[in-house]
Structure 1
């Protein structure tokens, strides 16, 4: 996809390997390429391609300075036997559509990887890409991955980077604002290159502090003296975003193989989203030729994205709610910046101005014509806590299919919104195993809900005939290896200390 530059400035330009290694641009912007959409995927050929072949093809277009051999090795390492299904992201038909019109609906299961969350699809790949960036020229430069997580990114990144040669990883999570299972997944992580730390604040506090850490020139200079550079595993890193584009094409390929659509038929995707990365990958896929009628943002009670898509004003100055879908409890959706760049035809000055308003005032408003263009591609809806619980119960009653609270937000929204005109099928992206949130799911199904997550898993298994993923069920009793917690203003010092141990 050619050279990359910041969303806020067209210079300097970097290769995709350099962009992945740096993670975020020096001016705080996100890396983009102006060649997105110049090369398109041949849709009629999709049914004959499995996931690994699709990954090589899509990523070869988006990351062109990786050789075919490099990408083939990355794909095999990331997806060869590491996911529960050979499809990697299998498509499951729903017996009954959530919508009243009866348009066929499917669930795209993204949670079959090592940590039972959709982040695995990208974070099994990112360390392999990072290892092949080859930017150190043999100098021995080491990379410290620094990431903030709202629940799932942290463990998926830890699973990908633990023990990775030449890398360390520091993960910050909002203390007390992730599920018990999510917390244990992170705090029990083994690895001499791993640091995990709670933050006294919410995800937005942690994410904003991580961005400040990347912009801290004094810190960067001190780390360079130690032979360490910082990079990111959040979806602000283009190497994290690109692998997610693949599963949109994989979903369409499965629909074609099943005879559910014909080549060219338009499909609508509903995506539970907080940081806008998962749904942005669908936008990339559409620009690469995937027949998408609409991309639907599904939010929880922290519905800042829905308000933006409804009225054009993005305003993070609002109450923050802790919900049963913690990975979506976000008020600053970083990847929206990339969409603004593309929707405005690459207007770096506009994007820089909007982001300055967000930083200084906590809000910005886009021009009416830009909002109209965005709404051609995106729809939206949101669910409160009662609606999430009702959606979990309704999906079980109608389909005998168990969904987690994040997926339930999307299920509710699909039931509320009529399909876009011309939609042949609707696909709901399921972002996490229900067993990551067993008490919330069991409670929604009307089951007696023990206060302990692992007891709740057993109740859920018995009632539904499903099984908890082994990697979750066996967390109980593992020793907690990481018990650190800091205030937001202590995060930079924590990173520096972790880097000194590399």
Structure 2
């Protein structure tokens, strides 16, 4: 199977090449030429498998320059060895008769990004060997909160890699910031950026396309790669958990094979819900893809109107990982829905870069209407939903998951659609203690990491071990740069 750029489908690469370099040379995103279809009995076959076995089964169809035995080794290392605090890795929890929560935060950094970023280092380092790459990969990451820590943890002390994470100053939660700034490892770097996530993300993309910088680093023995979801090696492992969730519901006899389920996903950069779209296209019986946004509602407006317009106020919300106005992975969806029309996609991306806005064709708009529903909610609604889920179901959720539950309730009220729905839970509530505590009625908040114990005492839910360990860790990183000086920080790290 070959991978092509969304902006030039004649730019073809093997899977290992696509993963090693992360972003196409023209700024496009590497995407499979053809999506594999699940065989008629694939879901039956996977029903009684472990999560690791399912991951091998699914990823094997996309990675024909990797062997099944290689993938078995990688999945055992990524999802075994006690890295996840539950044997199921990505358990599905029943909330009510037709609502299920896919918990993706049981990994080492307590966020869904672990599902991909525990796997990506194995895929990337193997890709370097397969491509006979002698340079060291300099992995650049822009994070709105969770990706940064997950990438740092995944690539910590991995041979032939250096990783530098940029996050928006004052744009992540206190626990998220502490997780990154206490990161251990000899090959890691962390730096905040004055501005918001879009500033950090745009800055990283600019570094990728800076030919002078790339040549300078090549002379030092480095090349750029990415651990953001612009890298196909990030998106692929995410497809697995949607297929796994469906198999779990089959195994538990909550659904029969072939029954439709809807999926409701809180998302800002569109990678998480894009993976659900790919699972649907492969043959998983997914009905409606419900896209949940916070007050930064650019995706909601796009899916409802066909107009993408980032020219709007940026809000810092209590669900910071979704505080995004430029949703990178939408480009892959446009490529698919346009029939892989790279010229059309290129036109949209040029318009976005030059004017901050584009409107898709009537043909794409029609397909969006058939596939997606979308909604948004503000912080007040988010807090109300956290409180309601706690009172009615004794279920503690974080603000991002609350956005999804609120949007699902809006969707059901509007449409009457009571199809069984999987709500994707993307982070532990303990990463957002202050907002969660206020939402369940506690206003006198403890200071520093003591707030973790306060939430545990109030809820009866234990603090996840990786977060409890933060109390003992020293701060290693405290640098801040202007968005125009990110290249200087890269050069300092790679001196």
Range class of TM-score, shorter chain: over 0.9
SS at match of 1:466: coil
Question: Are 2:17 and 2:131, in contact at CA under 8 Å, matched by a contact in 1?
Answer: no
Cα offset, 1:375, TM superposition = 2.0
Unaligned runs of 5+ in 2: none
Please point out which of 394, 400, 403 is paired with 2:397: 403
User: Is 1:309 paired with 2:303?
Assistant: yes
TM-score where L is the length of structure 2 = 0.97
Cα offset, 1:39, TM superposition = 5.1
Alignment partners' CA distance in 2, 1:136 and 1:249: 28
Cα offset, 1:421, TM superposition = 8.4
Cα offset, 1:187, TM superposition = 0.5
Q: After alignment, is 392-401 or 446-455 more displaced?
A: 446-455
Alignment partners' CA distance in 2, 1:428 and 1:478: 34
User: Is 1:258 paired with 2:265?
Assistant: no
Show CA shifts across 1:63-88 (max 9, x none). 22111121111111101131111111
Cross-structure match for 2:439: 444
Closer/same/farther in 2, CA of residues 136 and 258 from structure 1, 3 Å limit? closer
Alignment partners' CA distance in 2, 1:421 and 1:345: 32
Cα offset, 1:459, TM superposition = 2.3
SS at match of 1:94: strand
Cross-structure match for 2:45: 45
Please point out which of 242, 245, 253 is paired with 2:236: 242
Cα offset, 1:127, TM superposition = 0.3
Cross-structure match for 1:98: none
Question: What is the alpha-carbon root mean square deviation over aligned residues?
Answer: 1.5
Alignment partners' CA distance in 1, 2:79 and 2:465: 18
Cross-structure match for 1:26: 25
Cα offset, 1:458, TM superposition = 2.1
Cross-structure match for 1:431: 426
Moved over 4 A (4+): 38-41, 135-139, 419-424
Closer/same/farther in 2, CA of residues 424 and 50 from structure 1, 3 Å limit? farther
Show CA shifts across 1:8-60 (max 9, x none). 11122100100001100011110011211445572232322221111001100
Alignment partners' CA distance in 2, 1:381 and 1:51: 31
User: Is 1:473 paired with 2:468?
Assistant: yes
User: Is 1:59 paired with 2:59?
Assistant: yes
SS at match of 1:134: helix
Closer/same/farther in 2, CA of residues 278 and 449 from structure 1, 3 Å limit? farther
Alignment partners' CA distance in 1, 2:94 and 2:168: 35
Closer/same/farther in 2, CA of residues 265 and 138 from structure 1, 3 Å limit? closer
Question: Are 1:91 and 1:109, in contact at CA under 8 Å, matched by a contact in 2?
Answer: yes
Q: After alignment, is 467-476 or 424-433 more displaced?
A: 467-476
Closer/same/farther in 2, CA of residues 300 and 40 from structure 1, 3 Å limit? farther
Please point out which of 280, 283, 295 is paired with 1:286: 280
Show CA shifts across 1:355-406 (max 9, x none). 0000000010001221110121111111101100000011111110000000
SS at match of 1:432: coil
Cross-structure match for 1:145: 139
Cα offset, 1:465, TM superposition = 0.8
Cα offset, 1:414, TM superposition = 1.1
Alignment partners' CA distance in 1, 2:298 and 2:48: 40
Alignment partners' CA distance in 2, 1:139 and 1:238: 19
Question: Are 2:242 and 2:276, in contact at CA under 8 Å, matched by a contact in 1?
Answer: yes
User: Is 1:388 paired with 2:382?
Assistant: yes
TM-score where L is the length of structure 1 = 0.95
Cross-structure match for 1:88: 89
SS at match of 2:412: coil
Cα offset, 1:494, TM superposition = 1.1
Cα offset, 1:423, TM superposition = 6.1
Cα offset, 1:495, TM superposition = 1.2
Closer/same/farther in 2, CA of residues 139 and 116 from structure 1, 3 Å limit? closer
SS at match of 1:401: coil
Show CA shifts across 1:108-149 (max 9, x none). 100000000000000000001011013576563110100100
Cα offset, 1:354, TM superposition = 0.1
SS at match of 1:146: strand
